[in-house]
Amino acid sequence: MERQIDVEIRELKDLILAMGCCVEKSIEEATQALILREPDRFKKVYELEKTINEHHILVDEACVRILARQSPLAADLRWIVATIKINTDLERMGDQAVNISHNGERYLTEPALKPLIDLPRMASEVRQMVRSCLDAFVRKDLALAEQVLQQDDVVDQLKNEILDELKAFMARDPQSISRALNLILIARNLERLGDHATNIAEDVIYALTGKDIRHGHS
Amino acid sequence: MERQIDVEIRELKDLILAMGCCVEKSIEEATQALILREPDRFKKVYELEKTINEHHILVDEACVRILARQSPLAADLRWIVATIKINTDLERMGDQAVNISHNGERYLTEPALKPLIDLPRMASEVRQMVRSCLDAFVRKDLALAEQVLQQDDVVDQLKNEILDELKAFMARDPQSISRALNLILIARNLERLGDHATNIAEDVIYALTGKDIRHGHS
């Protein structure tokens, strides 16, 4: 027979998954709006943020309720503690999609600064990381969580290259400063999304193994 | 007689306070290094980060231990859940001090771009917010926590003004682009420090009242 705590943890997992879907959709809309120059898509990001914020509160409430009623231990307790943290990261990923949208809206008021450099590739890498950390969480897939940690290095490298190229752009053509700066800020937003996905992967590893691998600790 | 859980919560509070002191010191060193042009101070930031990271892990371990052994309820449970989140924010504040240091080190390799605009004032406001949210946590001071939320608006406003001024600077003098960009990134780092202090204030309010005021929810 299924334990009551298993039922509640399953419901909590569904809630996090629904929230994760909104976050993925939100990042997709924000980055595609920018790449395809379709500013209407930014509106969807602002709508999705509301749903993400509602889930943020619901997930925390559910975690506290399970802790109070079920006094979970060992793997169950680790899972709840990891979920509290994953919830925070997902909410802040929603904020970053909103930041991309604000910077993107400003960027799209002016003619395209071509090329978009490697931003589309960076966006694609980050979206892959977000998908993988959520999949690792759902499938309890340790290897996939560890893979996310590697991908973060690629994203950081791309960000550095993009920053250098955009700085050179600004120096060559002062007319491009405002647009290049918006793209720099967007690259930073994407980098932070990658950091949040990394945090989630670390939390999944902790939930599955009990090992805290942050800061090179084990 | 003091309950065992009170002893453990007191020890946990001391740990968070020690961590908070390192974070405050770290922000002080990073911002003063920049303002006084004393790059040696950045080294202290990197040393402090190690201590902050160690505390990050210790605090999480202590929270899980209390949850497992004491099955806390009501206000005690809220306090532990809030501490798990505050711990995350403190650690990321340490990261932001490191980011300020990296951007600051690059900035100080070139002659000063005067003026530093309102960056020293923004740094001072942010440090005040950090001090207040930690004080609110220690003294269980609801009014002080609420005050932190107001201060964040001032910091955001300052950041916008600083960004506008630096953009104008870059447009007037392409030689200033690299330095101005570093200062823009530092202003963003400071803004994020303010956001983390706001998160902590919200967690203190939740721990004290049981009210989740995030996202305009109550």
Q: Report pLDDT for A13.
A: 95
**Nearest residue to A161 (alpha-carbon basis) of A122, A123, A194, A130:** A122
pLDDT in tens, A129-182: 999 999 999 999 999 999 999 999 999 999 999 999 999 989 899 899 999 999
Provide ipTM, 2 decimals.
0.94
In angstroms, the separation between the Cα of residue B36 and the nearest Cα of chain A is: 26
> Is there a contact between B54 and A81 if contact means CB atoms under 8 Å apart?
no
Chain A CA closest to residue B189 = A188
Cis before A39? omega within 30:
no
Per-residue b or e along B143-177, where b marks 16 or more CB atoms closer than 10 Å to that residue's CB: ebbebbbebbebbeebbeebbebbbebbbeeeebb
Say which residue, B171 or A218, is predicted with more confidence: B171
> Is there a contact between B170 and A177 if contact means CB atoms under 8 Å apart?
yes
pLDDT in tens, A92-142: 999 999 999 999 999 999 998 866 778 999 999 999 999 999 999 999 999
pTM: 0.96
Homologous superfamily (CATH) of A4-216 is Phosphate transport system protein phou homolog 2; domain 2 (1.20.58.220)
In angstroms, the separation between the Cα of residue B53 and the nearest Cα of chain A is: 7
Asked whether the predicted pLDDT for residue A1 surpasses 90, the reply is no
> Is there a contact between A57 and B167 if contact means CB atoms under 8 Å apart?
no
Which portions of chain B are predicted below pLDDT 50? none
Q: Report pLDDT for A216.
A: 84
Instruction: For residues A2-26, give the mean pLDDT.
Output: 96
> How far, in Å, are A42, A49, A52, B200 from residue A97 at the CA level?
9, 8, 11, 22
> Is there a contact between A61 and B85 if contact means CB atoms under 8 Å apart?
no
* Cα–Cα–Cα angle for B132, B135, B140, rounded to 5 degrees: 120
User: In this structure, how many other beta carbons lie within 10 angstroms of the beta carbon of residue B108?
Assistant: 17
Task: Write out chain B residues lying below 8 Å of A63, CB-based.
Answer: 81
* 3-state SS, residue A110: coil
User: Which residues of chain B have a Cβ shorter than 8 Å from any chain A Cβ?
Assistant: 53-54, 56-57, 60-61, 63-64, 67-68, 71, 73-74, 77-78, 81, 84-85, 88, 167, 170-171, 174, 177-178, 181, 184-185, 188, 212, 214-215, 217
**Nearest residue to A189 (alpha-carbon basis) of A78, A72, A106, A79:** A106
Q: Report pLDDT for B1.
A: 78
> Is there a contact between A64 and B77 if contact means CB atoms under 8 Å apart?
yes
Q: Report pLDDT for A113.
A: 83
Q: Report pLDDT for A2.
A: 86
The answer to whether B200 touches B214, Cβ cutoff 8 Å, is no
Asked whether the predicted pLDDT for residue A218 surpasses 80, the reply is no
Give B195's contacts (C-beta < 8 A, 6+ positions apart): B152
Cis before A115? omega within 30:
yes
Please tell me which of the candidates B53, B81, B214 has its beta carbon nearest to residue A84: B81
pLDDT in tens, A30-83: 999 999 999 999 999 999 999 999 999 999 999 999 999 999 999 999 999 999
